[in-house]
Structure 1
């Protein structure tokens, strides 16, 4: 590892667990949970809007299919930019600390989301509207590139020794809570406004709400201390001078590659059940928008409730084992769940989403943060975690709605080719996770 020279020290304590007081732990839990909720609310609010609104507001001259594809294409751009943000903010987080880096990412995300809500439509300013939307989506992706890893490390590196899995699951709750909040806000606004008013200005209220959430999250994060593990690296002057280089070269190369592949199934799963399912249910199945949004929200709430249980299981049996079992279960359930969707019955749709998204996704997603954080030593952990999560997000997450939409189109509206793709992502992730060696973990 490329690190600056450390001064003499009788016994380095890097990697040793600290025993934080209860007040500091409460602040860490609150900052991790609220911060991640706000960031994911902002990011996935775009996904919900892309499914229901943006094809009409920013691509009104396109057919329904083309408009959906264009909206999902700009959705995917956010994932393409996320690795750039991950590398830059990962470097900053490994050099100046987790806390200050997270403050910057939150402000950027909130500003981009609020501005989306103020964008004129294509009918008002023409082609400039989708171009500005794309620019703001790029800013969103850039900011989120540094958010997830920092939020996980803020929790894990503050955690007591026997509660790493539980604390690592806390930022993951923010993802489920952010998705649930976004879809519920959209559902509420559609009940308040008629279709014309919602398409014109009602949807913008959800984006404006981001300003309030960001202020709350920012204030809470300012109260949190820097993580003890980074503070120790800083004290001993053992920071990496080139974190990205260290992440992609031995001895970290193997863990980086396995982490990239292990995340494929999780990224594909989330964006299938939390994003694509909305378009599929309201388009191909002709179900009403509000009930479908409520169904996704119910599944996301179930996930949020169960994520701490996954963290506790990770503490008991190890995050690798829990993650592997969960990903395998997701692969086994893909075809049965799409069969439930095929009934075009809202009750069965909800049952399927709660099963595969609320329960199974919670099982492996709660263990993911701790598992991936353990792939890297402290001096390069922010960068390593960002590289694994954000680079894999390009193909695992961002392209999933596009791939599934295209495969269903090729299969004359049937979902079975799309299901085969999802099962393949699960198989790849299972194999990669199984190949991770316990002796190579750093937590």
Structure 2
């Protein structure tokens, strides 16, 4: 079991998963090109270890997942996904172009131990597009048709944990349920954020998603989770502007166009409460195509990255942390000239003694390709929206439902 806040989440070690028929919810929703080809199969690879473990325990495994949304170009069959799963498992994954019809149910009934079957895109079932409480979803056709065919349900799809849809929250109320290994790693990482013994906790928050990030900061401050919040990117510019610092008209114009200046009252309120928010003391800026460093008190160019002095200060904080959470880059990392700030804070986190959680996306792209990460110390989150909601203080329906399964099984 893993405790996250007031929830107790069962893992695959907590329920009997030997010679059973297991329904495994995975997230293999992948980028698709105009020809219908999968162009990034990293999510498919992520679930292989969970599937292999279930096969090795003599289970028959039925996979359920979604791809795109009805009406979108990437709303396609999962037939190609099945071929990639077969390649990485080195085992045939049977594909069934059905979800809850007689063909699918018969194939599930006939599935032998150690075999794997993938149902077609679960969003072919309209119920899967509805957000509703677990108790309501436990009564859907999807759950009623499939649940009687299984002995257990495993959710390995953390990236969908912020959704309250039947395949995510319905089954735990009617079947013995657990978090899969991908989900377990994510939940374990999230638990570290709440562990009171793991201090100091440093949050490095940057990037351009300022509206999302200020929600995160408000939650961290309200719950007194963060010992320091180090800002970069447009997030840092918002707090600098809120302090009344002169960022020059060019930068203020950019903030205004992006609708960020409207957040100044919220940022100012955070600063007035004494929130442990750090802003850069210098910046890398672009002036007439040239890269120069300027102090925060005298900015003349367009801000593109934190400066070297700020990078040193931030790195010194990070090296002493017990937990470091990094979400969003420090600068415009698409331009190699403005990547150094993000690389500096990442390097400090990886060289420090603390547990490191990297919030996916742009921060991952700042990692050097030859860097080998210690999985016991570094966690790269697979869940953008789910991680955002969690850090913002909102509940994740998938975890709530798994926790309910614990309650139900103990009754």
| TM-score, length basis structure 2 | 0.22
- Between 1 and 2, higher relative CO (CA 8 Å, sep ≥ 6) is seen in 1
Q: Of the two, which has the highest radius of gyration?
A: 2
Structure with greater strand share of residues: 2
